[in-house]
C-alpha cells in the first residue's frame, strides 16, 4: 500500500509511509480500505445522511487481534481514530475525517449458552442479530426499539427499550467485556476484574476502549407479547397525554408505553383521510401473560376516542422491528433529548406547541417510558446517570433535502430550550448530536468526575475521543 496522508489527533496532517502501513497490513485478517477501493464509499456511509466524512484508512476487522493491531497503529502514529459498530449513532462519531476507522461491522457472532442463560456477542451485531439468536430459545436481552441499531454503541451508552422496565437497561444485564484499551492491550473487565473500567463502560460510551466481545445474562421470556399502537387525533392530545400520565402511575414493570407525536404516515390501518395529519400515538408493549396484559393495558386503551387500536398478541421479534421503516437509513437526522422525572402540565404545553410547528412530515417527538427495574438501580452503580427519570424525550428532526437543514435543526433546538425548565438535566448520550460536546459533563451528573479519573488511567492521551467525550481528568482541571 502507498504512503498515506492521515489526520492526527490534533487535527493536523501526517504522512505515514508505506513501510509502516505494510507492517500494519501484515497479519491483518480483515481488509484495509482507502478511497481507491470499490468498497470504500459503502464502508464510510452510516445511518445519518448528514454525516459525509472521508476517512484516510478503514480497517475492517475480522477479530480481536485485528482490533489490537489497529489501535496500536493509530496510537503509534498519533492518528485520529473512530470506531464503527452498527454505524447508527446520531452524532456520526463512527466515522472520522482523514483518520483511521476501526470497522467492527464484520464481527457479528451471537453465541447463546442455554444452560447458563448467557450470550457472547461481538460488536458488529445488530439488535436484529441478537433477537434472532436469543428469542429462538425463549431468552431475551433488553435492548432498543430499532432492530438495525448496533449492539455495541447501544450498550456502551446504556440501552433502553420495550423490555427495560422488566429487565433493566442493556448494561444492567452485562456480565463482562473483552476490550482493547488505548495501550493496545486486550483485557477483560467485569465486576471482579478491572471493576473500575467495567463501571465506566456501562454508560460511559466509547471513551475507554474498543469492546471486541460482550457477555450478557439472558432472561426467560414468552416471546409472544401484547403490543401495538393506539392512534389518536392531535386535537385530543392534551387530554391523551394527561390521562396517559395518570394511567402509568400504577403500571407494572411488564408494561411499557411510549408516545409518538408526528404527522401520520400512510399506515395500512389508518383511514386515508388521516394520512399526513398530526396524530398522537400510544405505542405499548406488555411482556408477560397475554391475559394479564389485556388488563394492564385496558386503562391506556380506554383513553378518548382513538382513530385506530391495533394492539394484540405479536411475536416480540416482529414488534422489535415495528419502527424500522420510519427509521431507515438515507435521511438527514438531528436529535435533541431531555430526561423528565414527570410529564408536567407545563412540559405538555411546550410539546404540543412544537407539534403544531412540525417542519416536515418525518419530524416527530418521542416520549420514552422508562423506570421500573432500571429505575431501582442506584445512580452510582454504573456510569449511566439518569436512574430517576420516568420519561425520556427525543426530539427527532428528520428530513431529506439539505435546504431544510436550518428549519429542522432550528425546530429541534427551540423545543429543547423550551423544555429545559421542566427537565432534570441529565441526558442519554446515545441521543446527543455531535454539537453537544459542552453538555457531556452535565449529562453524566455526579458520575462525571469519576469517569474523568478513569479516563486518565486508561486513556490519558484521549486516543478515544470520537464520542461524547469525557476528557482525562488533567484536561478537565486545566480547563
Domain of 58, CATH number, reads 3.30.43.10
Domain of 137, CATH number, reads 3.30.465.10
Give per-10-residue mean pLDDT for the chain (479 aa): 92 95 95 97 98 98 98 98 97 98 98 98 98 98 97 98 98 98 98 98 98 98 97 98 96 98 96 97 98 98 98 97 94 97 96 98 97 96 91 97 98 98 94 95 95 98 98 60
Q: Which of 225, 299, 231 is nearest to 260 (CA)?
A: 231
Please tell me whether residues 96 and 175 are part of one structural domain: no
Is residue 461 within 8 Å of residue 119, measured between CB atoms? no
Query: SS3 for 18-73, per residue?
Result: HHHHHHHHCCCCCEEECCCCCCHHHHHCCCCCCCCCCCCEEEECCCHHHHHHHHHH
350: in domain: yes
Give the Cβ contact number of residue 307 at 10 Å. Answer: 20
Is residue 50 within 8 Å of residue 334, measured between CB atoms? yes
> Residue-wise over 346-366: b if at least 16 C-beta within 10 A, else e?
ebbebbbebbeebbbebbbbb
470: in domain: no
Is residue 120 within 8 Å of residue 214, measured between CB atoms? yes
| DSSP-based three-state secondary structure for 358 | coil
Measured between its terminal Cα atoms, the distance across the chain in Å is 41
Return the ∠ at Cα 179 (arms to 175 and 185), rounded to 5°: 140
475: in domain: no
Q: Last residue of some domain: 103, 133, 163?
A: 103
Is residue 272 within 8 Å of residue 315, measured between CB atoms? no
Please tell me whether residues 206 and 240 are part of one structural domain: no
Please tell me whether residues 181 and 242 are part of one structural domain: no
Please tell me whether residues 121 and 182 are part of one structural domain: yes
Q: Which of 114, 118, 45, 50 is nearest to 84 (CA)?
A: 45
Number of domains in the chain: 3
Please tell me whether residues 55 and 121 are part of one structural domain: no
Domain of 380, CATH number, reads 3.40.462.20
Please tell me whether residues 11 and 131 are part of one structural domain: no
Is residue 309 within 8 Å of residue 226, measured between CB atoms? no
241: in domain: yes
SS3 content of the chain, % helix, strand, coil (to 5): 35, 25, 40
Q: Last residue of some domain: 75, 103, 131?
A: 103
**Domain range for residue 186?**
110-220
Q: Last residue of some domain: 103, 121, 155?
A: 103
Please tell me whether residues 214 and 248 are part of one structural domain: no
Cα–Cα distances in Å, from 297 out to 108, 160, 285, 406? 36, 20, 9, 40
Q: What is residue 474's predicted lDDT score, i.e. its pLDDT? A: 60
Rg for the chain, CA atoms, rounded: 22
Cα–Cα distances in Å, from 449 out to 196, 215, 318, 387, 446? 13, 27, 41, 18, 7
Helix (H) / strand (E) containing 418:
helix 405-419
Please tell me whether residues 402 and 299 are part of one structural domain: yes
Please tell me whether residues 122 and 183 are part of one structural domain: yes
Please tell me whether residues 231 and 173 are part of one structural domain: no
360: in domain: yes
Q: What is residue 477's predicted lDDT score, i.e. its pLDDT? A: 45
458: in domain: no
Please tell me whether residues 310 and 423 are part of one structural domain: yes
85: in domain: yes
344: in domain: yes
Please tell me whether residues 15 and 139 are part of one structural domain: no
Helices (H) and strands (E) in the chain, counts: 15, 21
Q: What is residue 478's predicted lDDT score, i.e. its pLDDT? A: 39
Q: What's the CA gap between 315 and 223, in Å, rounded?
A: 6
Is residue 106 within 8 Å of residue 30, measured between CB atoms? yes
Amino acid at each position: 500500500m502507498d504512503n498515506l496522508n492521515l489526520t492526527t489527533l490534533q487535527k493536523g496532517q501526517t504522512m505515514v509511509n508505506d513501510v509502516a502501513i505494510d507492517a500494519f497490513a501484515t497479519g491483518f485478517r480483515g481488509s484495509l480500505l482507502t478511497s481507491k477501493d470499490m468498497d470504500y464509499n459503502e464502508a464510510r456511509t452510516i445511518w445519518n445522511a448528514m454525516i459525509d466524512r472521508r476517512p484516510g484508512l478503514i480497517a475492517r476487522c475480522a477479530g480481536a487481534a485485528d482490533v489490537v493491531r489497529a489501535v496500536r497503529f493509530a496510537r503509534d502514529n498519533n492518528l485520529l481514530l473512530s470506531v464503527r459498530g452498527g454505524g447508527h449513532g446520531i452524532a456520526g462519531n463512527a466515522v472520522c475525517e482523514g483518520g483511521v476507522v476501526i470497522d467492527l461491522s464484520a464481527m457479528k457472532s451471537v453465541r447463546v449458552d442455554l444452560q447458563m442463560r448467557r450470550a457472547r456477542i461481538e460488536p458488529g451485531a445488530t439488535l436484529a442479530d441478537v433477537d434472532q439468536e436469543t428469542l429462538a430459545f425463549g431468552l431475551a436481552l433488553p435492548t432498543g426499539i430499532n432492530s438495525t441499531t448496533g449492539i455495541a454503541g447501544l450498550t456502551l451508552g446504556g440501552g433502553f427499550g420495550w423490555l427495560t422496565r422488566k429487565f433493566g437497561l442493556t448494561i444492567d444485564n452485562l456480565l463482562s467485556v473483552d476490550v482493547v484499551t488505548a495501550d493496545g492491550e486486550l483485557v477483560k473487565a467485569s465486576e471482579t476484574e478491572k471493576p473500575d473500567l467495567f463501571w465506566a463502560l456501562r454508560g460511559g460510551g466509547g471513551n475507554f476502549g474498543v469492546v471486541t466481545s460482550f457477555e450478557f445474562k439472558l432472561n426467560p421470556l414468552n416471546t409472544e407479547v401484547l403490543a401495538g399502537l393506539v392512534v389518536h387525533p392531535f386535537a385530543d392530545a392534551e387530554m391523551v397525554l394527561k390521562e396517559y400520565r395518570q394511567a402509568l402511575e400504577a403500571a407494572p414493570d411488564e408494561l411499557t408505553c411510549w408516545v409518538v407525536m408526528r404527522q401520520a404516515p400512510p399506515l395500512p390501518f389508518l383511514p386515508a383521510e388521516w394520512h399526513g395529519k398530526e396524530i398522537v400515538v400510544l405505542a405499548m408493549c406488555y411482556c408477560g401473560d397475554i391475559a394479564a396484559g389485556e388488563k394492564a393495558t385496558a386503562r391506556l386503551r380506554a383513553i378518548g376516542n382513538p382513530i385506530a387500536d391495533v394492539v394484540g398478541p405479536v411475536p416480540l421479534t416482529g414488534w422489535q422491528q415495528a419502527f424500522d421503516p420510519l427509521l431507515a437509513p438515507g435521511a438527514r437526522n438531528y436529535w435533541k433529548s431531555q430526561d423528565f422525572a414527570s410529564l408536567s402540565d407545563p412540559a405538555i404545553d411546550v410539546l404540543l406547541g412544537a407539534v403544531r410547528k412540525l417542519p416536515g412530515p418525518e419530524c416527530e417527538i418521542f416520549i420514552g417510558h422508562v423506570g421500573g427495574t432500571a429505575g431501582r438501580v442506584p445512580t452510582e452503580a454504573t456510569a449511566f446517570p439518569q436512574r430517576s427519570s420516568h420519561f425520556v424525550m427525543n426530539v427527532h428532526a428528520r428530513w431529506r433535502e439539505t435546504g431544510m437543514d436550518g428549519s429542522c435543526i432550528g425546530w429541534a433546538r427551540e423545543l429543547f430550550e423550551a423544555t429545559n425548565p421542566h427537565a432534570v438535566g441529565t441526558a442519554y448520550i446515545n441521543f446527543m448530536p455531535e454539537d453537544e460536546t459542552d453538555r457531556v459533563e452535565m449529562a453524566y451528573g455526579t458520575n462525571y468526575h469519576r469517569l474523568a479519573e478513569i479516563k486518565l488511567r486508561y486513556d490519558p492521551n484521549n486516543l478515544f475521543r470520537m464520542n461524547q467525550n469525557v476528557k482525562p481528568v488533567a484536561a478537565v482541571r486545566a480547563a
